[in-house]
Amino acid sequence: MSPFMATFFISIFVLLMQFLWKYIDDLVGKGIEFGVFVQLLVYVAASLVPMALPLSILLSSLMTFGNLGEHYELVAFKSAGISLKKVLQPLFAVVLMLSFVAYLFSNYWLPVANLKSKSLLYDIKQQKPTMDIQPGMFSNDLEDITIRVKDKKEIDGVEHLYDVLIYDHSDGPGNRKVTQAEEGIMTMTADKRYLELKLINGINYEEEENPQVKKEYTLARSKFKENIIRSDLSQFDLNRTDEELFKTGYKMLNMAQLSSAIDTLNKMKNNHFENFKTGLKNSSFLYSNYDESRFTQKKDSSQIDLDNYFSTFNDEKKGQILITATNLSRNSRSRLSSMHEDMKSRNKYIWSHEIEWHKKLTLPFACVILFLIGAPLGAIIRKGGLGMPIIISVLFFLLFHILSISGEKMAKEGAIDPLLGMWMASAILLPVGLFFTYKATSDSALFNFDSYTSFFKSFFKKKTASHV
């Protein structure tokens, strides 16, 4: 069990590092509290279990049976009358239990983890960066204030700013309030709710509007030795969005909810299509331009002699009819094109739900398949440790992952059915696992190339003899 736990947490760690590398720009500089950051990592780690679990089962089974084969313990089992099949049985039972747990996790816990991680990551992305004043650059981090400093230094843990220029936009757009100061000392209040900027030896400039003459301003200037500007730091707090807004996403639903959503979406799509057909039919040229009183037939184009009907009109009326027919055909073509795109979008949304539904089942099945590959392959190669097993595990997992991603992508694009796309990797690798299991339990020389060479030689000899 220890190889499995070790490989599982190593896999989670590697995938977490990949996540941090991907979202590093969204996380750095936001002043996120350590507890919030740990919370995010826990939720993300839980959402990465579907990828880490099959890999850890594959790698741990390879390492376990590779070690048994390398230290001749499998030979000892066989000498005692215990076949490899009997050795595999209890471990296979454990894998089945893990697969069941994986199903429960994927169906009930994974949607919650996805909801928590997605909503928290969204809130972090929306959060304003912490205040970072760079010398020579204008900073707009504080609300209604723009600051530029020539230089800054940290003295005894306190930030000192030099040659400070401040634009106050609290009264509206424009630079009607400007403050210059030789030095500024930036500190926080004891409750850490407010930022205080103490300005030393400066001048305030303010343009005051003349009430008697519109659009005329007078410049007021006042010197000061000390002036304190206080800003509320709540604008940098992490504001949490209501998680109810994210619950409708297909990744946040279990199988029952996905099935209900798929049925609802299909009904909505069919109703929308039927309404479109009815509207298109009612707006057709035939139903809007012929004189009903001149015909006893039903409103059915198959019952109307169009040539005779059109010839009854004069030239002016024929021209009007042709213009109307052309406009109606263009409108119908535009509506059909728009409807086509709308149906494509609706189908893709439905396929996404179906893909997520199948994912709940492919995860536990993948655990079984990769065990059937890893355990017998480890017994065959008889190499333990971390060298050869890691190489083989990575190769097979990459193959499984590429097939899974390819099938999912084709299913999302509508190239193949979601059922086929999501089970394609399992359908391809299951025979491979059964083949490896058969070879290992029957003591066949899987990697003995001489046996394959002799087989093909005998095969071609038989084929040549039959032709003769």
For residues 25 and 14, give the distance between their C-alpha atoms in angstroms, rounded to a whole number: 19
Do 108 and 161 lie in one domain? The reply is: no
pLDDT digits (tens, 9 = 90+) for 417-433: 999 999 999 899 899 88
- Token output for 366: 């993948």
Give dist(CA 141, CA 134) in Å, integer.
11
pLDDT band for 245, please (50, 70, 90 cuts).
Answer: confident
* Residue 195: per-residue pLDDT: 77
Domain check: are 161 and 47 in the same one? no
CB burial of 198-207 (b: ≥16 within 10 Å; e: otherwise) equals: bbbebebebe
Give the residue with greater pLDDT, 354 vs 315: 354
Residue 380 lies in a domain: yes
Percent of the chain with pLDDT over 90: 9
> Does residue 119 fall inside a structural domain?
yes
Is the pTM above the cut of 0.75? no
pLDDT of residue 294: 47
pLDDT of residue 36: 81
Same domain, 54 and 170: no
Per-residue confidence (pLDDT) for residue 350, from 0 to 100: 92
**Residue 263 confidence (pLDDT) above 90:** yes
In a shared domain, residues 166 and 105: no
Q: What is the pLDDT of residue 59?
A: 84
For residue 42, tell me if it sits in a domain.
yes
How does pLDDT run across 352-379, given as a tens digit for each residue?
999 999 999 998 899 899 888 888 887 7
**Shared domain check, 92 and 37:** yes
Instruction: Assess whether 119 and 33 both reside in one domain.
Output: yes
Angle made by CA atoms 16, 22, 23, in degrees to the nearest 5: 90
